[in-house]
Each structure stands twice: as structure tokens, then as C-alpha cells.
A and B are shown apart, each in its own frame.
Chain A
Amino acid sequence: MPTNILMPALSPTMEKGNLAKWLKKEGDKVKSGDVIAEIETDKATMEYEAVDEGTLAKIVVPEGTQDVAVNAVIAVLAGEGEDVKAAASSAKPTSPKAAEAPKPAPKAETPKAAPPQSAAPTKTEAPTPRSDGNRIFSSPLARRLAKEAGLDLQRVSGSGPHGRVIARDIEQAKSGKGLRAPGAAPPTGPSIAASMSDQQVRALYEDGSYDFVPHDGMRRTIAQRLTASVQTIPHFYETVDCDIGRLMAAREEINAAAPKDKDGKPAYKLSVNDFVIKALALALQRVPDANVSWTEAGMLKHKHSDVSVAVALPGGLITPIIRNAESKSLSAISNEMRDLAARARAHKLKPNEYQGGTTSVSNLGMYGIKDFTAVINPPQSTILAVGTGEERAVVRNGQLTVATIMSVTLSCDHRAVDGALGAELVSAFKALIENPVMMVV
């Protein structure tokens, strides 16, 4: 019997992903463990390995398809001795195996119960209800064109009267104009600032005076998450100057003492940021009330310090996590960070390597930034924005002197962390970063 190849769930929370690339063609032999496709989630591209053996009879979901629901059939594999053609013709989007999993959307005329949200690859024709219960206003022609183009109406910004989605919007959306991030509700309600439509923005600039670059999944995720963060999280900020003179000296000593392998490569090379990660992790252990996540029902008090570290990528950024950073040595943190950053730049992180975390570090010191504020990465409650370490004039005991100072700013979610609690965390961090010896204890 032919085997259906289903859209994999690359993380527990994944509902849909993009089929970035097929690495096998129809008719290719597939062995267990062969990489057959690349699946793109909101932040990473993952290789998809075959579990079964056989011949790839039919590719159901072509590469480049966006928002393929988890467990949707993406291809059909003919087993050994099976008729490839017959297997191919059996290919149709069937129900995923799991009993409670979403079924393919019924045709509009079938008066069955509506499919669960983020259902199978086909979309219902009826106006899609928005998550807030409001109907998306759209013209019948626009709905039909969207269905044909495989576009989710929720993602199309309407330019018709009162934001109604009209045929022209679908035509434009096909080339990426006016497309919203998947899942992002259209801006409504007083809580969200009125933003300009794509057309209004474009109208401000002459045609040809700019290049149009359609958003990729990462850009959309950043836009969606950080907009939500600023709009829903009451941020406040606490800045402190840290004297990192001792840290710089210690770092030099430790790096100089690193054992070298036969190529002369040192076993570790600590960066200032590695100390920052460690210090923040330990500070959170000392002020455990600040190591929390807000939920409506109650506070999640995290036991470990999982520190997300912002890594800049071309066209975006990602925050791989050093888990249990409080219990890891500086060299372990350093090496792990190096590996995560390299794989992040190659878009090879697994979702569990960047999803979660209990706090974040964003360090722009290498760009010479003195101090700045960062946007909280929900559902975390804090993020530390780290500036450059530089020699500054300071006054000590009434004397003007020179010290290496690094300014850091902690952003806090006021729902979870109050001002004094934030200040405790900042003080704990300052104490550790200024006295790196304390980190060894």
C-alpha cells in the first residue's frame, strides 16, 4: 500500500509550515534517512528525512507552498513492488492519521461542521471568520480568486470600502503586495495604532525609486511578535553602568590560559557576552521572582535560567537559547554559543533551540552602541540590552578617574516584574559582572 508522506511537526507548537524545497523528484528512489525536502518554519529551515523506503510516486504539495498544515499529505511513496502510477493516482489530500487531527475542509456546499482552525490544505470558500469573531469583508470575486491562488484572505489587506478585500487586492497579493503575516489579525480596535495601508505607503514614493522585496517567514515573525510585544506588554526600562575593568582583566587571563590543541587552536575564547550570559543567568537565580512568564491564569516561575541571545542574520535575527546557563561553565557557554550562532546563520536551528527561554540578551556593543532599550521577547519578562564597553571618566571618592564602563538596560514586563524587582535583578547582575570571580562560586 502506498505511504502518504505528511507535513511534519517540527516543534510541538507548529501548526503549519512552508514547503521550501523538494530534494527528490517524482520517480526518485528514497531510502530511509534520505533528506527528501526542506521545510521552513517561522524561523528555521529544517531538513525532512524519509522514514520509509520506496519510490516517490507523487509530489502533492509543490515546493514554495506556504502555510502547509501539519499532517497534510505532501507526497506519496510507493513501496517496493508497488505500482508507482497507481500510487500516484491514489494521492489525494486525505485526513491525517491522528483521530483528532484536522480534516480537509469540506466543500462550501457540504453543510458539515466547520473544520478546526488551521485545517487541511484546502480552504473553505465561505468568508473566513477571524479569530476575534469578526467577518472578513470581501467580495465574492475576491474570495474565488483567493481560493484559486491558494491565498488566505486573513492575510490580504483590503483596499475596498471599509477595508473590504476586493479582486484587485488579490491580484496584488499574488505578487506580495499588501500581504500580512500569517495568523496576524488585521489591525482593528483602539488598542492598535492605525497604520497606513500598503497602497498609502507606496503612494508616498515614486514608482521605480525603490525595490520591492517580499517578506520571508522570519521578517513576518519578527514583525508580528515584536508588534504584539510592544502593543500588549507594558514595558519599563532600568539602566545601570557597570565597571567591567576586572572582567576585562579576568577574560584576558582566562583566554591566555586556555589549553591549545595540536593545531594551536585554543579550547575556548571567552567573549564579554559570554560573561553577560552567565551573569544574567546567575542574577536570575538570585532574584528568582524575576525569572517568570506572565500568563492570564498565573505566573510561571522558571527554575532554570534559559538565556536567549539575539543573533543578527541577514534580513532578520534569531534568538538561540543557552539552557540552564546558571549551571554551565563560561567555556561551555562560549562554545555552545559559537555553535548556535553558526547554525543560526545557516538557518539550521531546530525550533526547540530558539523557542522558549526565560530571558534574553541583546548585545550591540560590537557596533559601538552606548546604550539602548530592547523589546521583550514574549513570553519572557525581561531582556537585557548591552552597550559597548568603553573607557569613561568616572568620579570615585571625589576623584576623577578612568574606568571601562558598560551600560546595560533591562526591559521589564510590568505585569510580571515591578520596578523594585527589576532593580534587584539589575543590581545582582551588576554585582556579578563587576566581580567576575563571584561567577565562579
Chain B
Amino acid sequence: MADTSFDVLIIGSGPGGYVTAIRAAQLGFKTAIVERDYLGGICLNWGCIPTKALLRSAEVFHMMQHAKDYGLKADNVGYDAAAIVKRSRAVSKRLNDGVGFLMKKNKVQVVWGEASIDAPGKVTVKASKSEAPKGALPPGAYQAKHIIIATGARPRVLPGLEPDKKLVWTYFEAMVPPSIPKSLLVIGSGAIGIEFASFFRNFGADVTVVEVLPQILPIEDYEIQTFARKSFEKQGIKILTNAKVTKLDKKADSVTATIEADGKSQQLTVERVISAVGVTGNIENLGLEKLGVKIERGIIKVDEINKTSVPDIYAIGDVSGPPMLAHKAEHEGVVCIEAIKGLHPHPMNKLMIPGCTYCTPQIASVGLTEQAAKDKKLDIRVGRFPFVGNGKAIALGEDQGLVKVIFDKKTGQLLGAHMVGAEVTELIQGYVVAMNLETTEEELMHTVFPHPTLSEMMKEAVLDAYGRVLNM
């Protein structure tokens, strides 16, 4: 008879859940993790990771098409959609196996099935449709002193725009396209929508992006938004903002969308539609209503260490509110389990969570946008540095981009950083570390950045904020 009693039981093995499980095990808790579909959750299997694999194919393809620019010859450049998807799936599988290995290594017990909480301390796991991996415990009754809900999110569905898996896709279908559609309508211009728009455009699809708000990438700084939009449009992506898809007429192998923009209605016929209108937390069928766990507008209410309104039940990641990002879930989970252990961790500062979008050009940001800082009535200094002033960017053939920083004028606190251009998703962390260490402009100016790197632009932007820019 397998042991069914644990110190900590985590529901969901996405990046939030499995990282929390490892940390719990490190802290000496007897830990179990319940999963119904894929170890690693959406992130590893249907989100962050496989899309990066797809986008890498797109990037290499793009480079090959432009081989001549670098003095290289690459004739008859082409692609095999099935092989691109196959590679992406293989990447996911490798990481999915990796999570299984990590659970075993850390002696975290995997339980296979759908969990619901009967009472604090009591969880029932029912069989799920997918096959259990070797060594997982079967459905049944489980007990745990602390229960952590990390069930993640799924695509949001808008009435009239319901995905059908065939013509109207969510990220699930968009990730495994049988072929590259000739034309594509992407509804929503957040990270998911823009990344798919970028991917399919790269392989020649005629892509239109519709955004209900006045600007694409709604959470980014307006200068970055404007820069990115120009760049996308130059690549041939059509962008309609302040626009709404009101109707989808499905034919055998195409969809005619009715789009309302500026009070005018227009029709657009495309082969496929991707609905990327956001995600919504998986809070159903967990027994939360019955337990009295407080939920507000689809988000489980938690305190700063992710305690819910019911003792010994915690919620982390997408279900506990935005930003719905893997790295937010991971850190929340670590803070939560350390708090349970009594280590008094610092609650996460949500203003210091970076965000990355892996389109071409890449976008990365952290902290306040210029507008948000102004809305807070902060007195600010803004510095900018364009990629055209950076030697490494020019050498790479990537001279389009911008680094922008925002400082508090009085204290020199770095309030926000916003970047668009090649590799910025790998650069942003420099600013995130700086913000977390509470450096001011002075320390950033006194930091030696290696030459020649793209990172030099980060220092130049800081210098620019204080009227000391060198290479412009």
C-alpha cells in the first residue's frame, strides 16, 4: 500500500508547481505533486518552450534567406513544416522527461489524475484521460498538511470567437500546424498573439493582427510599442488597432471575419484564425467554492505569501493573478513554501518581474513604463539608446532596436527598463538584478560593461538619462 499522506501536496506540475515541489523537498517536506496531463504543464509542453523552438526555426530560416547579406551562399532555402513541428515537440518531450527526472531525484511523489480538495488537508484524485507515467501514484484519497494550488491557465474564450481546433486555433493548434496557412488572422496582440504572428509571417503567411486596444503589446512602453509596430508592418504584418472581431463565418477551409474599426466594418477572409485574447485561470472543479476559498473575478485571492482565505490552502501562479508568467509562478511558489517552512522570505515585488516577447524584433521590459511613472506623479529622467549606435549590433547585422530606461529624478532609483531589438530578452536581466539590488544610476555608471556587446547599450541608456551619453 503506497503512502498517501504528505506534508505538502501541490496540484499542477507547471513551472510554478514543479519548482515549488523541488524547493519543498529541499526544505525537508514530504512532497507530492498531482498532474493530469503533462509534467511541466503548459509552459514546457504547449507554451514558453515549444514556441521558442518554433521561433528559432523561423529565425534560422530568416538568416538563411538573408545569407547574402553576410557574404554567404544559401540557395534553394526552404522549410518543412512537419519537421519544424517535430523538432518543437522533441524539445518539449526532452524537458517533460527532465521534470520527471527532477521529481524522482528530489523524491517528490507524482500522483496522476485530477485533484479536488475535499477539506483542508484532504484531496481526492480522480483518473484523468491521459496515461500515467511510470512510478506515478494512482487516483485515490490523499492527505497533506499544506495544499498548494498551481493549476495554471487556459486560453480565454470570447463568445462568437470560440476556437474549433480546425479553423479557429488557440495556441494548442497553432503550435502544431499541419502546414503554414497562406493567410492568418491573429486576434489579440499580447505576447502569445505577436509571437505567432511573427512566426507565421516569417514562413510567408499573410498575417493580420487585430487588437481591441489603441496599441499592440498593450503592457509595453509606448515608444517600444510604436517601434515594434513599425517593424512588424515593415515585415508585412497588417495591424489593426482599436479594432474588434465581431463575427467569424466559417467555410470549409477558410474563415471570413467581420472586423469593426473606427466605427467601420470590414470583412477579411483568411485560411486560419488564432484566438490569443488572453488566458484564464484553471480554478474550476477543485472544490474551492465548497471550501469557501475566496475568488475575485476568476482569481484566487491570496496574501503576500500566497495563502488563500482558507488555512493551509495556498495558490500560486496564474490562478493567483497577473502577471501570468512562468517565472512569476516559480518565484511565488518558492516564497510560499519558504514561508510555510517559517523562513520569513521576502514577498515578491511584482514591479520587478520582467516580461519577454520573442517575436522579431524581441521585446523585453521590467518595471514602470514612462506613462505609468507619470501617472504615479513621479518626477523622472528618461534615457534612450538606439541599436544603431552600438558596434556589436551593427556587426551582427541587427542595428534596429532601442533601449530605454526610466529613473526617479530625486533618488536615482531605476524605475523601469524597456527594450526592443535583437537578443534583448537575454539582456533585460541585467536591469532586473540592478533593480533588485536597489542600485542607483551611479552604480550603473560605475559598472564596466564588456566591449563589444549589446549590453553596452544598457549603460549608454543610463548615461543618456543623465546627459552623459557617449556614442550618440
In the complex, what distance in Å separates the CA atom of A140 from the CA atom of B439? 5
**B285 CB within 8 Å of chain A:** no
Indicate whether B396 reaches chain A with its CB closer than 8 angstroms.
Answer: no
Q: Is residue B411 within 8 Å, beta carbon to beta carbon, of the partner chain?
A: yes
Comparing A141-149, A176-184, A326-334, the segment that makes contact with chain B is A141-149
**Pick the contact of B413 from A159, A160, A167, A200 — CB < 8 Å?**
A167
B412 touches A141 (CB 8 A): yes
Q: Does B438 contact A (CB under 8 A)?
A: yes
**A141–B413 touching, CB < 8 Å:** yes
Chain B residues near A159 (CB-CB < 8 A): 346
* Neighbouring B residues of A161 by C-beta, 8 Å: 346
Q: How far apart sit A139 and B349, CA to CA, in the bound complex (Å)?
A: 16
Q: Does A244 contact B (CB under 8 A)?
A: no
Contact of A142 among B410, B438, B442 (CB under 8 A): B438
**Residues of B with C-beta under 8 A to A144:** 411-412, 440
Using CB atoms, name the residue of chain A closest to B412.
Answer: A144
Determine whether the beta carbon of B438 is less than 8 Å from that of A141.
yes
**Which of A140, A142, A144, A145 gathers the greatest number of chain B CB atoms within 10 Å?**
A140
Chain B, Cβ-Cβ closest to A142: B438
B412 / chain A contacts, CB cutoff of 8 Å? 141, 144
CA gap between A167 and B410 in the complex, in Å: 14
Q: Is the CB of A140 within 8 A of B443?
A: yes
B437 within 8 A of A: yes
B439 to chain A: which residues have CB within 8 Å?
139-141
Q: Which residues on A sit within 8 Å (CB–CB) of B182? A: none
Are B437 and A139 in touch, CB under 8 angstroms?
Answer: yes
- Please determine whether A140 and B438 come into contact, CB atoms closer than 8 angstroms: yes
Whether B442 lies near A140 (C-beta < 8 A) is: yes
Inter-chain contacts of B440 with A (CB < 8 A) = 140-141, 144
Q: Are A141 and B344 in contact (CB under 8 A)?
A: no
Interface string of B420-443 (1 = CB under 8 A from A): 000000000000000001111011
Write the A145-163 contact mask toward B (1 if CB under 8 angstroms, else 0): 1001000000000011100
Give CA–CA (A145, B410) in the complex, Å: 9
Q: Select from chain B the residue with minimum beta-carbon distance to A125.
A: B442
CA A195 – CA B89 in complex, angstroms? Answer: 54
Q: How many residues of A contact B (CB 8 A)?
A: 13
- Give me 4 other A-B pairs in contact (C-beta within 8 A), A139-B439, A141-B440, A166-B438 excluded: A139-B437, A141-B412, A148-B411, A200-B344
Output the nearest chain A residue to B345 by Cβ-Cβ distance: A161
Can you list 21 A-B pairs, Cβ within 8 angstroms, ordered by A?
A: A139-B437, A140-B438, A140-B439, A140-B440, A140-B443, A141-B412, A141-B413, A141-B438, A141-B439, A142-B438, A144-B411, A144-B440, A145-B411, A148-B410, A148-B411, A159-B346, A161-B346, A166-B438, A167-B413, A167-B438, A200-B344
Closest residue of B by beta carbon distance from A161: B346
User: Inside 8 A of B437's CB, which chain A residues have their CB?
Assistant: 139-140
In the complex, A148→B411 CA distance in Å? 9
User: Considering the chains assembled together, what is the distance between the CA atoms of A160 and B438 in angstroms?
Assistant: 11
| Cα distance A56–B439 in the bound complex, in angstroms | 42
How distant is the Cα of A139 from the Cα of B411 in the complex, in angstroms?
12
Shortest beta-carbon distance, A139 to chain B, in Å? 3
Interface residues of B in 432-472 (CB under 8 A from A): 437-440, 442-443
Q: How far is the CA of A161 from the CA of B412 in the complex (A)?
A: 22
Q: Give complex CA distance A318, B442 in Å.
A: 47
Residues of B within 8 A of A139 (CB): 437-439
Binary interface encoding of chain B residues 384-425 relative to chain A, with 1 for a CB under 8 A from any of its CBs, else 0: 000000000000000000000000001111000000000000
Q: How far is the CA of A159 from the CA of B347 in the complex (A)?
A: 12
- Chain B nearest CB from A206 CB (Å) reads 13
List chain A positions with a Cβ less than 8 A from chain B: 139-142, 144-145, 148, 159-161, 166-167, 200
Q: Mark B208-236, 1 if CB is under 8 A from A, else 0.
A: 00000000000000000000000000000
State the 3 A-B residue pairs at the shortest beta-carbon distance, nearest first.
Answer: A139-B438, A141-B438, A140-B440
Considering the complex, give the chain B residue whose CB is closest to the CB of A138: B438
Q: Which residues of B sit under 8 angstroms from A141, Cβ to Cβ?
A: 411-413, 438-440
Q: Which of B36-67 contact A (CB under 8 A)?
A: none
User: Which residues of chain B have a CB within 8 Å of any CB of chain A?
Assistant: 344, 346, 410-413, 437-440, 442-443
> In the complex, what's the smallest C-beta–C-beta distance from B465 to chain A, in angstroms?
15
A28 to chain B, nearest CB (A): 34
A166 to B439, CA, bound (A): 10
Provide the bound-state CA to CA distance between A141 and B441, in Å. 10
Q: How far is the CB of A65 from the nearest CB of chain B, in Å?
A: 21
| A140 / chain B contacts, CB cutoff of 8 Å | 437-440, 442-443
Q: Which residue of B lies closest to A139 (CB)?
A: B438
**B434, closest chain A residue (CB):** A140
**A166 contact set on B, CB distance < 8 A:** 438
Q: List chain B residues, Cβ under 8 A from A145.
A: 411
How far apart sit A144 and B409, CA to CA, in the bound complex (Å)? 12
Give the docked Cα–Cα distance between A144 and B411 (Å). Answer: 7
Closest chain B residue, CB of each to CB of A166: B438
**How distant is the Cα of A144 from the Cα of B440 in the complex, in angstroms?**
9
What separation, in Å, do the CA atoms of A142 and B442 have in the docked complex? 13
With a CB–CB cut-off of 8 A, which chain A residues contact B344? 200
A159 to B443, CA, bound (A): 21
Query: Who on chain A is nearest to B437 by CB?
Result: A139
Residue of A nearest to B344 (CB): A200
Shortest distance between the CB of B311 and any CB in chain A (Å): 16
With a cutoff of 8 Å between Cβ atoms, the chain A residues found around residue B443 in the complex are 140
Query: Closest CB-CB distance, A344 to chain B, in whole Å?
Result: 42
Cα A112 to Cα B107 in complex, Å, equals 59
CA distance A200 to B343 in the complex (A): 11
Q: Closest residue of chain A to B349, judged by CB?
A: A168
Q: How far is the CA of A311 from the CA of B386 in the complex (A)?
A: 71
Query: Which chain B residues lie closer than 8 Å to A200 at the CB level?
Result: 344
Nearest CB in chain A: distance from B389 CB, A: 27
A145 to B438, CA, bound (A): 11
Bound state CA distance, A159 and B344, in angstroms? 10
Residues of A near B410 (CB, < 8 A) are 148
How many Å from the CB of A356 to the closest CB on chain B?
43
- Counting chain A CB atoms within 10 Å of each CB, the highest count among B346, B410, B413, B438 belongs to B438
Q: How far is the CA of A148 from the CA of B440 in the complex (A)?
A: 14
CA distance A148 to B408 in the complex (A): 14
**CB closest chain-A residue, reference B410:** A148
> With A and B bound together, what is the CA distance between A167 and B437 in angstroms?
10
Q: How far is the CA of A323 from the CA of B411 in the complex (A)?
A: 53
Q: How far is the CA of A159 from the CA of B442 in the complex (A)?
A: 23
How many Å lie between the Cα of A200 and that of B342 in the bound state? 11
* B346 partner residues in chain A, CB cutoff 8 A: 159-161
Inside 8 A of B411's CB, which chain A residues have their CB? Answer: 141, 144-145, 148
**Complex formed: what's the CA distance from A161 to B338 in Å?**
14
Q: Which A residues lie within 8 Å of B438 (CB)?
A: 139-142, 166-167
Q: How far is the CB of A173 from chain B (nearest CB, A)?
A: 15
**A437 CB, nearest partner CB in chain B, Å:** 64
Query: In the complex, which residues of chain A have a beta carbon less than 8 angstroms from the beta carbon of B442?
Result: 140
B187 → chain A closest CB, angstroms: 41
User: How far, in Å, is B72 (CB) from chain A's closest CB?
Assistant: 46
Closest chain-A Cβ to B227's Cβ sits at a distance in Å of 29
Give Cα A140–Cα B437 distance, bound, in whole angstroms.
8
A142 neighbours in B (Cβ, 8 Å):
438
| Smallest CB gap from B440: residue in A | A140
CA distance A2 to B439 in the complex (A): 43
Complex Cα distance, B437 from A142, in Å, reads 10
What is the CA–CA distance of A142 and B411 in the complex, to the nearest angstrom? Answer: 9
Q: What is the distance, in angstroms, from A404's C-beta to the closest C-beta of chain B?
A: 54
Cβ contacts under 8 Å, A148 to chain B? 410-411
* A200 closest partner in B (C-beta): B344
**Chain A residue, CB-CB nearest to B414:** A141
CB distance from A136 to the nearest CB of B (A): 14
Residue of A141, A145, A159 contacting most chain B CB atoms (<10 Å): A141
Most B CB within 10 A of own CB, among A139, A160, A166, A200: A139
Assembled-state Cα–Cα distance A141/B434 (Å): 11
Chain A nearest CB: distance from B202 CB in Å? 42
**A160 and B344 alpha carbons, distance in the complex (Å):** 11
CA distance A414 to B144 in the complex (A): 55
Inter-chain CA distance A161–B440, complex, in Å, is 18
Give the residues in chain A near B413, CB-CB below 8 Å: 141, 167
